Amino acid sequence: MFGRISQRTVGVTARVNYTVTPALSVQIYAQPFVSAGGYSDFRELVDGRARQFDARFAPYAYDGNPDFNYRSFRTTNVVRWEYQPGSTLFGVWQQGREDQIDTGRFDFGRDFRDAFDAPGRNVFLVKWAYWLNY
């Protein structure tokens, strides 16, 4: 089965590095992404060797709905503290949110807003590095 797709996608990647003091810094990475696609003109392969398009593919009555709206928002936040020369403590919070519906109609305001309301997955990490001087 084949079909024609009309798709619109918008994504942004943003990074911020902020040094509070020489020993303390914050890094933020954020990536919102929205995409919508609607399928039409479904066809099936009839004769793969035919030279003419209409002889190769025939219209196909597809009764499903493959249309989609995909929204996601991913962010990573890092706090770095060098508590003594060569020794550092990192705190990381990573969050991923994603959702999908099958309308296939792009509405930037709705899709962008819904990316933040989508179910989220959080990961928290701590890394401790201590410099041994001997």
Contacts of 124 (CB under 8 A, 6+ apart): 91, 92, 93, 94
pLDDT, tens digit (0-9, with 9 covering 90-100), for 88-116: 999 999 999 999 988 888 888 888 888 88
Q: What is the pLDDT of residue 28?
A: 98
Assess if residue 5 is contained within a domain.
Answer: no
Assess if residue 54 is contained within a domain.
Answer: no
pLDDT at 134 over 80: no
Assess if residue 134 is contained within a domain.
Answer: no
Amino acid at 92: V
Assess if residue 56 is contained within a domain.
Answer: no
Assess if residue 42 is contained within a domain.
Answer: no
Assess if residue 53 is contained within a domain.
Answer: no
112: domain range?
Answer: 10-37+66-129
Assess if residue 25 is contained within a domain.
Answer: yes
Measure Cα distances from 2 to 43, 59, 76, 98 in Å.
Answer: 5, 9, 38, 27
Average of per-residue pLDDT across 121-134: 93
- Counting the structural domains of the chain, the total is 1
Average of per-residue pLDDT across 50-56: 86
As beta bridge partners, residue 5 has 39
pLDDT, tens digit (0-9, with 9 covering 90-100), for 2-49: 899 999 999 999 999 999 999 999 999 999 999 999 999 899 999 888
Assess if residue 84 is contained within a domain.
Answer: yes
